[in-house]
Structure 1
Amino acid sequence: MVLKAEIHCHIEGAASPALVEAQAAKYGADVSVIIRDGSYVWSDFTSFLHCYDVASMLFRNEDDYALLAETYLADLASQGAIYSEFFISTDHAIHAGLTPDAYVAGLAEGMRRAREKHGIESRMIATGLRHEGPEGVERASRWVAENPHPLVTGFGMAGDERTYHPKDFARAFDIARDAGLAITVHAGELVGAQSVRDALDWLKPARIGHGVRAIEDPALVARLADEGVVLEVCPGSNIALSVFPSYDEHPFPKLRDAGIRVTLSSDDPPFFHTSLAREYEIAEEHFGMDEAALLGVTRTAIEAAFVDEATRAALLARLS
């Protein structure tokens, strides 16, 4: 089994339908609108976000989030993963009636349990939700800057890429960067290459979440390669959301061949009927990558991980 690492996954989006149904039973909620026959039901990006939000609202206290993190990381470890970096959203916590402090504490407890039981290292990336607007993203950024936690090592922005312009969020990202947090941002998924270019110019991330639409602009592809910006690529998600019609038309091989540092992640795995192991299988089956190339993808993810250098060295040593 090839050792794996994941650096792009939303923790609420990692909740399996079975776990969400168990949470619904716990709280007396009805999830028949979003789950049918053991699978999430949605039709487009907007309905996906609604489905995601309904599921996430069923995690309401520290124990719930500890269970979510531990369950997800245990499953990831069973797939051969030695490292996980997942996105968290204090906005989701607040909407569910949980304080951000309790939210982070619960997740950290689940991470501790998973590391102790399964040997998987993990970190959190705090995010603002783009469709909440500049004030919402700045609120998320300011909270994480003022409430440091050793397992929260990065800041990013998720949500609907079709709203606002990256320049509107520059202040929020400056706050996070000044607090010592590493920066990533979703771009170039539902919106084209200019979205990636604007994110680079205004937010100055070390990594881009998705970024696959950069393939539409050769100059941008060259820039990403020259600047060493890492792309957090999620092929299964891209196909599920119809960013590309098929794996044969997915630009992962072209981006990699152009010298861009690419990684593989699962994004919101049960929502897109995928897993980290499946993403590696996709790369083997559709992108022609052998075991050495796949291990190289893992190495790139660890080299780009938002961890201290001692942890990075220990993880890289495990690949040897």
Structure 2
Amino acid sequence: MSLKSYIEAMPKAELHVHLEGAILPETVLFLAERNKVKLPADTVEGLQKLYEFVDFPHFVTVFNMVISCLQKPEDYIDVVIRFGQEMARQHIRYAEVTWSPQSHVWRGIPFSVLLEALNEGRAKAKHSYGVELRWIPDIVRSWPDATDDFHEEAARWISSDEALAGGVVALGLGGFEVGYPPERFEVPFRLARERGLPGNPHAGETEGAASVWGAIRSLKARRIGHGVRAVEDPALVKYLAEQKIPLEVNPTSNLCLKVYPSYTEHPLKKLVEAGCIVTINSDDPPLFNTTLTDEYLHAVEDCGLTLEQLENAVLNAVRYSYLPEASKVGLVAAFEADFATLRRQHQNSLF
């Protein structure tokens, strides 16, 4: 028994993972062949070489390459089922999954068709693997030539009756922060909020604390995707802790995209010790050669969290999810019972 075996067996929940960025390389190749998409690599090893990112714009280029392989409803169904299978393998019981409808609608696939396919995959994943998924469709802030009208239209799809009944739990904001501050997206987030949909934007990843402040003040963010660069402003860290605004932290993603040079220099532990509500996530796991299990291991072994702090971060992912309160209470109790069992099994090696 070891720390690794403990973490592998832990029940898990994830709040920050991109569906398109979670497609395994072998699935990308399968989809490309099925849809006759020419890729710059035709082996798993070749794709993994492409995933060695220079910077965030390079990452976006590769991300869009993956998206180009998704062309038919059955592609989305297959991807969600395979995602659910990977969740079950890692004991991830619940996930709120970000996806980018604009990228697909722009290519001629209606939002309603996308949502129907994703929900067919979601139902099959639950039936086959016992996992629960919800959706956070996002607006891509840096989408080429996008107008304000395009973003507002997207907010209307995402907050439609169909979406709210179909597992959509928040409106996200993704893409490259530089040059695209949160304030520019105040209207679409207000439109969604008026329909009862909370805001869940990315901020404080490739831009600093001002981006996080903008997400809070202009977009009324319920949670912050990433948010790690809040650490650059002590007043903001204090505010996040006092107001209980959770941060969805993705350590390996931050290293791969050059936000921080190493795990030891990553601010995860500093944010936890400052009283911030932190969850630990994988972002785009195959693109960053990681898994949620790996992220939990890095959090303890490399970022310096205690096992108790890790367990609390796992529970935070349930407590600050968009599940109904009764569901949260039940899931937290189940996780705590499993933690207790694992502690007994590992008492001679870890405790």
Q: Same fold (TM over 0.5)?
A: yes
Task: Name the amino acid aligned to 1:139.
Answer: E
In structure 2, the residue matched to 1:39 is 48
* Aligned 8 A contact 1:127 1:137 in 2: no
Q: Distance in 2 between matches of 1:311 and 1:11?
A: 23
In structure 1, the residue matched to 2:305 is 289
* Aligned 8 A contact 1:5 1:302 in 2: yes
The question of 1:309 aligning with 2:325 is answered yes
Identical pairs, percent: 35
In structure 2, the residue matched to 1:206 is 222
Q: Distance in 1 between matches of 2:260 and 2:304?
A: 18
In structure 2, the residue matched to 1:142 is 156
- 3-state SS of 2:136 partner: strand
Moved more, 255-264 or 139-148: 139-148
- 3-state SS of 2:225 partner: strand
* Aligned 8 A contact 2:253 2:282 in 1: yes
* Aligned 8 A contact 2:119 2:166 in 1: no
Structure 1 residue 117 displacement after superposition: 1.6
CA offsets 1:31-52 (integer angstroms, 9 cap, x no match) = 1259753415143211210111
In structure 1, the residue matched to 2:74 is 63
How many residues end up aligned between the 2 structures?
320
Q: Distance in 2 between matches of 1:117 and 1:311?
A: 21
Q: Distance in 2 between matches of 1:136 and 1:45?
A: 23
Q: Distance in 2 between matches of 1:178 and 1:56?
A: 30
- 3-state SS of 1:270 partner: helix
Task: Name the amino acid aligned to 2:48.
Answer: S
Task: Name the amino acid aligned to 2:102.
Answer: D
Gaps of 5+ in 1: none
Distance change >3 Å, CA 53–CA 40, structure 1 → 2: farther
Task: Name the amino acid aligned to 1:135.
Answer: D
* Aligned 8 A contact 1:27 1:58 in 2: yes
The question of 1:271 aligning with 2:287 is answered yes
Question: What are the equivalent positions in structure 2 for 1:134-173 lying under 5 Å apart?
Answer: 134-146=148-160, 147-148=162-163, 149-173=165-189
* Aligned 8 A contact 1:58 1:96 in 2: no
RMSD: 1.6
Moved more, 3-12 or 125-134: 125-134
Gaps of 5+ in 2: 1-8, 338-351
* Aligned 8 A contact 1:40 1:270 in 2: no
In structure 1, the residue matched to 2:100 is 89
Extract structure 1 runs of 4+ deviating beyond 6 A: none
TM-score, length-scaled by structure 1: 0.95
TM-score, length-scaled by structure 2: 0.87
Q: Distance in 1 between matches of 2:300 and 2:128?
A: 30
- 3-state SS of 1:249 partner: coil
Q: Distance in 1 between matches of 2:333 and 2:156?
A: 35
Aligned with 1:110 (options 121, 139, 155): 121
